[in-house]
Structure 1
Amino acid sequence: MLEIHPNCEYCDNDIAPDSHDATICSFECTFCKACAKDKLNWICPKCNGNLTERPVRPAKALEACPPSTKRRSLFVRD
């Protein structure tokens, strides 16, 4: 099952689980579309795979299989 991450790993902006603004690679690294397009040229900086729109999980399925709350980042933060 796809693990829905709550933020862009580049800019750290929140991305709602039902948003069409999220992109992912095959390893589920998650980036907003603005970062994917403007900063990453649609290529995941971790695996060099392509970024594509993340599928939206239907609301009823979100109840049974909630999104992750663990934030992720490309950058080491203090």
Structure 2
Amino acid sequence: MLQMRPNCECCDRDLPPDSVDAMICSFECTFCAGCVSTTLAGRCPNCGGDLMPRPTRAAHLLAKNPASTQRVLKPGGCQKAT
């Protein structure tokens, strides 16, 4: 089951479980769509993998399967992809 991390690792923007702006790689590194398009060029800065839209979780399922509350943030933010 996806952790549904609560924030962008680059800019710390909140990304609630129903956010359509959350993007993840296969390791669930989580970024907002803005950072993915303007800074990361569609690639995870941690593993180099593709960043894809994170599925949303239906509100009625969050009580039994809550999203993570642990925030992950890259020290110094993300560097622009070259």
Post-superposition shift, 1:2?
A: 0.5
Say if 2:33 is the partner of 1:68.
no
Aligned to 2:28: 28
Structure having the larger proportion of residues in helix: 1
In the aligned structure 2, how far is the partner of 1:52 from the partner of 1:23?
5
In the aligned structure 2, how far is the partner of 1:27 from the partner of 1:41?
18
In the aligned structure 2, how far is the partner of 1:47 from the partner of 1:11?
18
**When the two structures are superposed, what TM-score results if normalisation uses the length of structure 1?**
0.94
In the aligned structure 1, how far is the partner of 2:8 from the partner of 2:27?
14
> Gaps (5+ residues) in structure 2?
77-82
Post-superposition shift, 1:50?
A: 0.3
Aligned length: 77
* CA RMSD across the alignment: 1.3
In the aligned structure 1, how far is the partner of 2:65 from the partner of 2:59?
10
Counterpart residue type for residue 40 of structure 2: L
Aligned to 1:59: 59
Give secondary structure in 1 for the equivalent of 2:34: helix
Of all paired residues, the percent bearing the same amino acid is: 51
> Gaps (5+ residues) in structure 1?
none
Give secondary structure in 2 for the equivalent of 1:31: strand
In the aligned structure 2, how far is the partner of 1:61 from the partner of 1:21?
20
**When the two structures are superposed, what TM-score results if normalisation uses the length of structure 2?**
0.89
Say if 2:18 is the partner of 1:18.
yes
